[in-house]
């Protein structure tokens, strides 16, 4: 396995007067094909870390390397291009474009990449069939259930063949049955395409299904647990008192 | 194209806002088209009224000469100039007309009736008795109605024309005209031959009136004739105030019309601003999916451009129909001195239809600049939070 993300001494500070340290010198390496979950209390910096990896936010200090390229200081245009090419996003709220049908929403990352409409449509239909929505192609988000919309969002996140899929509480708004369905879907895609998944979640049941769990408190990684068969083993940097 | 795809989707799904924006611009453009057509119509009416009695180009004898001597060659030369519609030679003189005990001095002009009619339409529009063309056959005269009153003469009766050094002759009154212009209504017209016989100075004339298809070509025509040594002047140099007042009128009208359109484009700015506010999350998601700032900006610019262009096209079509309808009503106004009521014309200039559609497009895009810029500068993290 090769390193897909390498984070060195990453620091994010918000505010001008009263400073709020959201991330405090985080070091992290993520391997290609890994399914990683980040857990921790609200305000611990999970989402900030995810936004950094997702190139939506820029660090105050430190470096982020994506596939061997230092992207900490990339221009807004370059970051947009990389988001389109390398990343797929699934948020707690589906964030589908309300005017567009399911298939058009899934086509969107491809259209942004400049793929021809016909080809994009073909790919989108394949993906929607894969997530079990082959019969809902032309329905708009307000004609679909919460779980269905989230599956459309998953299909959209995968449309552009991203190397990393980022999920910020991807099942946070769903009942446990829909949650399981979404997770199984992600896992299946991971096995089939060796995509890297980084999930932020409150849901420990889901976290325990991933390969590695990071626990973030006050902007620091305080615990790292690795899957070993059916159990998790903790690494030495675990400070369980926190 | 992504930008167009998203913009069109917004336009099609947000029907109420689309109708509002297109309606505001469309109404403004329609008002402009109707006003411009009224303006064009009244300018044409102005021209018609003004040039009914005035020539486009006036040709006078060479400097130091009393008459235009070789006028037939000159007339041929003028006819050869492209765009010339009428060439009316005239020999003007003063005559003393007497009828019974009444004696009056009068401006008597020898003319070719058909050509005079083309320049002044006196034969078609202003004859109240008899026929202007009748003067062509022999010793006949057409008199203005004021002169008829002063001489107390009637159609078919003889007046005596005389003047020192001139050949006294009897003239039959063959026509009476009334133009509403005092000076003209005291004048007399005879045929060119009769006037030449009266003066006895041979086959000569004193001036030529020229009418041109496009009055704005008058300067060029005058210049060609001046090159031969004659004193030719166009209406533009004879009556510069005429064009000055038209230019001022046009400017002030256009200023008001552009302001109307400017106000309408604020409607677009408002709709676009609302759209950006409403679409914050979606802009955030588009950014997360890799849409860059210039693409976001273009989505909103294209959208306001399309709304403006649609308003422009709808407005010009509507304005054109309204103008055509008003024009068909043949609405008239009466002026106290005018012999006939004046018909209010609404003439649409096809150039206006294109120009104001484009102006609506440009102003709407300008109105969209700020909202589009605002959308492009959104921080995706903040925008996604809503």
Q: Which residues of A touch B283 (CB under 8 A)?
A: none
Best A45, A99, A160 member to test B by mutation, with max B CBs in 10 Å, is A99
Distance from CA of B8 to the nearest CA of A (A): 10
Q: In this predicted complex, what is the ipTM?
A: 0.91
Residue B210 · residue B118 · CB < 8 Å: no
Give the integer Cα–Cα distance in Å for A128 and A109. Answer: 14
Nearest CA in chain A to B299: A112
A95 in contact with B, Cβ within 8 Å: yes
CB contact under 8 A, B291 and A80: yes
Quick one: pLDDT at residue B338? 66
Residue B195 · residue B140 · CB < 8 Å: no
Give the integer Cα–Cα distance in Å for A240 and A227. Answer: 17
B78 with B37, same domain: the answer is no
B157 with B104, same domain: the answer is yes
Measured torsion, CA atoms of residues B168, B170, B174, B175, in degrees rounded to the nearest 10: 40
Q: Which residues of A touch B12 (CB under 8 A)?
A: 99
Residue B93 · residue B111 · CB < 8 Å: no
Q: Which residues of A touch B8 (CB under 8 A)?
A: none
Give the integer Cα–Cα distance in Å for A51 and A57. Answer: 5
8-state DSSP, B68? B
Classify residue B66 by burial, with Cβ atoms within 10 Å: 0-12, 13-18, 19+: exposed
Distance from CA of A157 to the nearest CA of B (A): 8
What does R_g of chain A's alpha carbons equal in angstroms? Answer: 18
B273 with B191, same domain: the answer is no
B200 with B269, same domain: the answer is no
A226 in contact with B, Cβ within 8 Å: no
- Which helix (H) or strand (E) segment holds residue A234: the answer is strand A231-234
B348 with B303, same domain: the answer is yes
Find, among B187, B220, B374, the residue nearest to B296 by Cα. B374
A99 in contact with B, Cβ within 8 Å: yes
**Domain range for B70:** 57-238
Among B190, B218, B238, the domain boundary falls at B238
CA distances to A46, A131, A149, A210 from B298, rounded to whole Å, are 33, 33, 28, 41
Q: Answer yes or no: is pLDDT of A241 > 60.
A: no
Which phi-psi region, left, alpha or beta, contains residue B83 (left: φ > 0; alpha: ψ -120 to 50)?
Answer: left
Quick one: pLDDT at residue B75? 93
Beta strands in B40-191 (DSSP E): 57-60, 84-99, 102-111, 127-130, 140-144, 158-162, 169-177, 188-191
CA distances to B211, B212, B218, B234, B249 from B82, rounded to whole Å, are 12, 9, 11, 16, 31
B224 with B92, same domain: the answer is yes
B105 with B197, same domain: the answer is yes
Nearest CA in chain A to B12: A99
- Mean local confidence (pLDDT), A131-150: 92
What does R_g of chain B's alpha carbons equal in angstroms? Answer: 32
CB contact under 8 A, A108 and B293: no
B241-278: buried (b, 16+ CB within 10 Å) or exposed (e) per residue? ebeeeeeeeeeeeeeebeeebeebbebbbbbbbebbee
Quick one: pLDDT at residue A73? 86
Categorize the per-residue pLDDT at A65 as very low, low, confident or very high, splitting at 50, 70 and 90.
very high
Which of B2, B13, B290 minimises the CB distance to A80?
Answer: B290
C-beta contacts of B135-138 below 8 A and 24+ residues apart: B135/B111, B135/B174, B135/B175, B135/B189, B135/B190, B135/B191, B135/B194, B136/B112, B136/B191, B137/B191, B138/B191, B138/B194
Instruction: Give me the phi and psi of A239, to 5 degrees please.
Output: -115, 90
How many separate domains does chain B show? Answer: 2
8-state DSSP, B70? S
Among B190, B210, B238, the domain boundary falls at B238
CB contact under 8 A, B293 and A80: yes
Instruction: Give me the phi and psi of A226, to 5 degrees please.
Output: -110, 140
Give the integer Cα–Cα distance in Å for B375 and A180. Answer: 36
| Total length of chain A | 242
Beta strands in B269-365 (DSSP E): 332-333, 342-343
Give the integer Cα–Cα distance in Å for A119 and B137. Answer: 88
Distance from CA of B284 to the nearest CA of A (A): 9
User: Count of CB atoms within 10 A of residue B338's CB?
Assistant: 12
Percent of all residues in chain A with a pLDDT value above 70, rounded to a whole number: 97
Classify residue A97 by burial, with Cβ atoms within 10 Å: 0-12, 13-18, 19+: buried
Measured torsion, CA atoms of residues B377, B378, B379, B383, in degrees rounded to the nearest 10: -170
Which of B6, B289, B294 minimises the CB distance to A84?
Answer: B289
| Per-residue pLDDT reduced to its tens digit, A15-36 | 877 888 888 889 999 999 999 9
Which phi-psi region, left, alpha or beta, contains residue A64 (left: φ > 0; alpha: ψ -120 to 50)?
Answer: beta
Q: Which residues of B touch A108 (CB under 8 A)?
A: 286, 289
Distance from CA of A151 to the nearest CA of B (A): 16
B165 with B179, same domain: the answer is yes
| DSSP string across B161-215 | EE-TTS--EEEEEEEEE--S-TTGGG-EEEEHHHHHHHHTS-S-BSEEEEEESSG
Which residues are CB-neighbours of B4 under 8 A, at least 6 positions away? Answer: B302
Nearest CA in chain A to B381: A56
Q: Which residues of B touch A84 (CB under 8 A)?
A: 289-291
CB contact under 8 A, A108 and B286: yes
User: Count of CB atoms within 10 A of residue A218's CB?
Assistant: 15
Distance from CA of A132 to the nearest CA of B (A): 23
Quick one: pLDDT at residue A15? 80
- Which helix (H) or strand (E) segment holds residue A11: the answer is strand A3-14
Residue A64, CB-side half-sphere exposure with 13 Å CA sphere: 23
- Which helix (H) or strand (E) segment holds residue B315: the answer is helix B293-329
Beta strands in A42-129 (DSSP E): 61-66, 69-70, 87-91
Residue B336, CB-side half-sphere exposure with 13 Å CA sphere: 0
A97 in contact with B, Cβ within 8 Å: yes
Q: What are the domain boundaries of chain A? A: 3-234
Distance from CA of B248 to the nearest CA of A (A): 50
Would you say the C-alpha torsion B90, B91, B95, B100 has a positive or negative sign? negative
B200 with B61, same domain: the answer is yes
Q: Answer yes or no: is pLDDT of A242 > 50.
A: no
Best B290, B296, B386 member to test A by mutation, with max A CBs in 10 Å, is B290
Nearest CA in chain B to A153: B285
Q: A192 or A49, which is more confident? A: A49
B47 with B72, same domain: the answer is no
From chain A residues 22-61, the ones with a CB under 8 A of any chain B CB are 51, 54, 56-57
Find, among A142, A144, A121, the residue nearest to A133 by Cα. A144
Which residues are CB-neighbours of A112 under 8 A, at least 6 positions away? Answer: A84, B2, B286, B289, B290, B291, B295
Each of the 386 residues of chain B gets a pLDDT tens digit; together they read 889 999 999 999 889 889 988 998 899 999 999 999 999 998 888 888 788 778 899 999 998 898 999 899 999 999 999 999 999 999 999 999 999 899 999 999 999 998 988 888 888 888 998 989 999 888 999 999 999 999 999 999 999 999 998 999 999 999 999 888 888 899 999 999 999 999 999 999 999 999 998 888 899 999 999 999 999 999 888 888 888 888 888 899 889 888 888 888 888 888 888 888 888 999 999 999 999 999 999 999 999 999 999 999 999 999 999 999 999 998 888 877 666 788 889 999 999 999 999 999 998 899 899 999 999 999 999 898 86
B41 with B155, same domain: the answer is no
Quick one: pLDDT at residue B262? 84
Nearest CA in chain B to A160: B289
CATH code of the domain made up of A3-234: 3.40.50.300
Give the integer Cα–Cα distance in Å for A187 and A37. Answer: 13
Residue A165 · residue A50 · CB < 8 Å: no
Categorize the per-residue pLDDT at A205 as very low, low, confident or very high, splitting at 50, 70 and 90.
confident
Among B184, B207, B238, the domain boundary falls at B238
Instruction: Give me the phi and psi of B40, to 5 degrees please.
Output: -60, -40
B120 with B226, same domain: the answer is yes
Q: Which residues of B touch A113 (CB under 8 A)?
A: 290
């Amino acid at each position: 396995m090769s390193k897909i993300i390498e984070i060195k001494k990453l620091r994010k500070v918000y505010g001008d007067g009263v400073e709020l340290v959201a991330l405090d010198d985080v070091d992290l390496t993520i391997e290609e094909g890994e399914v990683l979950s980040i857990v921790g209390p609200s305000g611990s910096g999970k989402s900030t870390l995810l936004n950094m990896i997702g190139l939506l936010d820029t660090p105050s200090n430190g470096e982020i390397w994506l596939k061997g390229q230092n992207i900490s200081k990339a221009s807004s245009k370059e970051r947009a291009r990389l988001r389109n090419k390398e990343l797929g996003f699934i948020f707690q709220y589906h964030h589908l474009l309300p005017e567009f049908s399911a298939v058009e929403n899934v086509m969107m990352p491809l259209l942004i990449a400049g793929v021809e409409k016909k080809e994009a449509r073909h790919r989108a239909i394949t993906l929607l069939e894969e997530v079990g929505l082959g019969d809902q192609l032309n329905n708009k988000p307000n004609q679909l259930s919460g779980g269905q919309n989230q599956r459309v969002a998953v299909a959209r996140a995968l449309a552009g063949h991203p190397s990393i899929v980022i999920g910020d509480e991807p099942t946070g708004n769903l009942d446990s049955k829909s949650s399981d369905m979404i997770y199984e879907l992600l896992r299946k895609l991971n096995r089939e395409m060796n995509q890297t998944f980084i999930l932020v979640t409150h849901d420990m049941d889901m976290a325990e299904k991933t390969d590695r769990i990071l626990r973030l408190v006050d902007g620091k990684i305080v615990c790292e647990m690795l899957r070993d068969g059916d159990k998790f083993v903790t690494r030495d940097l675990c400070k369980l008192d926190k | 194209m992504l930008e167009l795809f998203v913009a069109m989707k917004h336009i099609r799904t947000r029907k109420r806002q689309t109708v509002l924006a297109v309606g505001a611009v469309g109404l403004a453009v329609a008002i402009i088209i109707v006003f411009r057509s009224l303006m064009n119509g009244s300018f044409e009416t102005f021209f018609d009224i003004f040039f009914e009695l005035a020539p486009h180009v006036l040709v006078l004898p060479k400097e130091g000469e009393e008459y235009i001597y070789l006028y037939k060659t000159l007339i041929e030369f003028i006819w050869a100039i492209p765009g010339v519609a009428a060439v009316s030679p005239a020999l003007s003189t003063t005559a003393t007309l007497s009828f019974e005990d009444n004696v009056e001095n009068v401006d008597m002009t020898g003319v070719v009736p058909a050509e005079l009619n083309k320049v002044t339409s006196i034969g078609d529009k202003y004859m109240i008795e008899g026929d202007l063309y009748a003067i062509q056959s022999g010793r006949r005269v057409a008199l203005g109605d004021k002169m008829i009153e002063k001489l107390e003469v009637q159609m078919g009766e003889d007046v005596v024309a005389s003047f020192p050094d001139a050949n006294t002759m009897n003239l039959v009154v063959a026509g009476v005209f009334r133009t509403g212009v005092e000076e003209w209504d005291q004048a007399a017209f005879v045929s060119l031959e009769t006037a030449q016989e009266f003066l006895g100075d041979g086959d000569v004339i004193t001036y030529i009136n020229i009418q041109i298809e496009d009055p704005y070509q008058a300067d060029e025509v005058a210049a060609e004739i001046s090159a031969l040594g004659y004193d030719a002047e166009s209406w533009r140099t004879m009556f510069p105030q005429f064009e000055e007042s038209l230019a001022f009128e046009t400017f002030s009208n256009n200023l008001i019309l552009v302001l109307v359109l400017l106000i309408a484009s604020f409607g677009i700015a408002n709709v676009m601003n609302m759209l950006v506010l409403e679409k914050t999350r979606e802009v955030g998601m588009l950014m997360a999916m890799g849409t860059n700032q210039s693409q976001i900006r273009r989505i909103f610019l294209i959208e306001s451009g399309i709304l403006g262009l649609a308003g422009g096209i709808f407005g010009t079509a509507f304005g054109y129909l309204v103008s055509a309808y008003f024009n068909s009503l043949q609405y008239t106004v009466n002026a106290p001195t005018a012999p006939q009521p004046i018909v209010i014309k609404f003439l649409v200039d096809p150039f206006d239809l294109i120009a104001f559609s484009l102006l609506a497009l440009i102003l709407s895009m300008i109105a969209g600049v700020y909202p589009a810029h605002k959308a492009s500068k959104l921080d995706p993290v903040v925008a996604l939070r809503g």
